[in-house]
Amino acid sequence: MLYTSSLSKLESGWCSLASSDSKSLIKKYLTKGVFGELKGKKTSFGSTLLDCVQSGFENHDSGVGIYAPDAEAYTVFAPIFDPIIEDYHKGFKPTDKHPAKDWGDVNALGDLDAEKKYVISTRVRCARSLVGYPFNPLLTEAQYKEMEEKVSTTLKGLAGDLQGEFYRLTGMSKTVQQKLIDDHFLFKEGDRFLQAANASRFWPTGRGIFHNRDKTFLVWCNEEDHLRLISMQMGGNLGEVYKRLVTAVNDVEQRLPFAHHDRLGFLTFCPTNLGTTIRASVHIKLPKLAADKAKLEQVAAKYSLQVRGTRGEHTDAEGGVYDISNKRRMGLTEYQAVKEMNDGITELIKIEKQL
Ligand code: ADP
Ligand code: IOM
């Protein structure tokens, strides 16, 4: 009975997406043939194609529109995940293997904007999934609580500049929460893309944020991924931001076991984040280049960069502030992903100066 209703939801969702003007990768690659091949499949956890694509079916403005409800989905539903991975990560083929983790020379990066004219702040984040737990759609309320406990207890062990406190979303005042969001430290509330992916169940249970005293090292617990580890600070000193992230991740990795796949690298809920899971971004003002948003996006794409709004994915720029980051995270090393952003932003600043 349930199976029939999930099939009919799939059929109607697919028809509605196919006839829409959605620019999502799910629309591009979920052809009639692929849909037919996958609509009856299930992972051993019971996840169906609907569990993977329901966010993109409900939100035609998704960039991608697909999530893996469990790690096995990347294999069972490979005919839809593989082309999306190849497209998003610029040529990472089904036969390719993500390289081993390599942070490179952490002293090789410097300040992106020594003149302090363009870059407002710099952030590098990566994602990690805890071994032994499924992704959001399959987590029980008890698992959310257990994971939060594990993460908050573990992070108490951090020392020196990384030392800080864990703040649970449960019981956090709305004023404190909103201030953390407005200051770009905390994930937003009520993300409709995640809600439709069944990733916001039991909210705010199990969700929280750890940060050090200066809010330059932060860890998100159970938003889109089990963990997001973030290093950020005002200004353009990517070298300092990167070095802090590497130190922190190396430390946390000694304390918690993280899920890693031989071919896909570090495992994440969304295929856009697989591999290194690195998103290195700047908040930047490029008034001349951004006078034409389409031009900005075109030039950024030339350097393999992605443009987001001031409050992150699916938001608009406020006061001319854009979030520009490396787009691909797979098929290259951690250092190369960050360097891609470094080199691209250097070029964008050069172009802005010439205009
Ligand atoms: P992610 O997937 O990397 O977590 P989001 O697009 O959801 O990214 O953004 C999360 C938050 O991080 C948002 O508040 C966004 O403004 C903030 N952010 C991203 N890059 C920067 C940056 N360079 N400086 C300050 N805040 C940033
Ligand atoms: N990672 C995820 N939030 N995103 C790619 C959503 C989308 O499909 O737009």
Ligand 2 within 6 A of CB of 193 = yes
17 belongs to a structural domain: yes
Residue 138 pLDDT > 50, yes or no? yes
Nearest ligand, CA of residue 184?
Answer: 1
- Integer Cα distance of 316 and 338 in angstroms: 24
Is position 107 within any domain?
Answer: no
pLDDT tens track for 143-200 = 999 999 999 999 999 999 999 999 999 999 999 999 999 999 999 999 999 999 999 9
Confidence check: pLDDT of 2 > 70: no
Q: Whose CA is nearest to atom 6 of ligand 1?
A: 312
State pLDDT tens for residues 217-272.
Answer: 999 999 999 999 999 999 999 999 999 999 999 999 999 999 999 999 999 999 99
Q: Which ligand is nearest to the CA of 316?
A: 1
The percent of residues in the chain predicted with pLDDT above 90, rounded, is 98
8 A C-beta contact, residue 48 and residue 198: no
Residue nearest to atom 17 of ligand 1 (CA): 184
Note down the domain range covering 71.
4-88
Question: From CA 263, how far away is CA 330, in angstroms rounded?
Answer: 10
Within a domain: 50: yes
Q: What DSSP designation does 162 have?
A: G
Residue located nearest, by CA, to atom 7 of ligand 1: 312
In a domain, 67, yes or no: yes
Q: Considering the domain boundaries, does residue 36 fall inside one?
A: yes
**What value does the mean pLDDT take over residues 310-319?**
94
- Residue 47: inside a domain: yes
Q: Tell me the pLDDT band of 3, cut-offs 50, 70 and 90.
A: low
State the CATH number of the domain containing residue 66. 1.10.135.10
Ligand positioned closest to the Cα atom of 65 = 2
Q: Which residues are catalytic?
A: 125, 224, 228, 270, 272, 279, 308, 313
Number of domains observed in the structure of the chain = 1
Ligand 1 pocket mutation, candidates 323, 326, 338, criterion most atoms within 8 A of CB? 323
146: its two tokens: 């257990």
Query: Rounded to an integer, what distance in angstroms lies between the CA atom of residue 36 and that of residue 28?
Result: 15
User: Structure tokens of 84?
Assistant: 């999306």
The number of angstroms, rounded, from the C-alpha of 264 to the middle of its chain's C-alpha atoms is: 15
For the record, the structure tokens of 193 come out as 């893309």
pLDDT confidence tier of residue 282, bands split at 50, 70 and 90: very high
Tell me the residue type at 94.
Answer: P
Alpha carbon 233 to its chain's center? 19
- Cβ of 184: how many Cβ atoms within 10 Å? 18
DSSP assignment letter at 39: T
Cβ pair 22, 14 in contact under 8 A: no
Compute the distance between CA of residue 326 and CA of residue 47 in angstroms, rounded to an integer: 31
pLDDT tens digit string along 58-117?
Answer: 999 999 999 999 999 999 999 999 999 999 999 999 999 999 999 999 999 999 999 999
Q: Is the pLDDT of residue 216 over 80?
A: yes
For 12-48, how does the pLDDT look when each residue is reduced to its tens digit (9 = 90+)? 999 999 999 999 999 999 999 999 999 999 999 999 9
- Would you state the pLDDT for residue 35? 97
| Residue 54 counted as domain residue | yes
Whole-number average pLDDT of the chain? 97
Please check the confidence at residue 1 and state whether its pLDDT lies above 60: no
- Per-residue pLDDT of 114-131, as tens digits, reads 999 999 999 999 999 999
Does 68 contact ligand 2 (Cβ within 6 A)? no
Does any domain span residue 69? Answer: yes
3-state secondary structure 204-269: CCCCEEEEECCCCEEEEECCCCCEEEEEEEECCEHHHHHHHHHHHHHHHHHHCCECEECCCEECCC
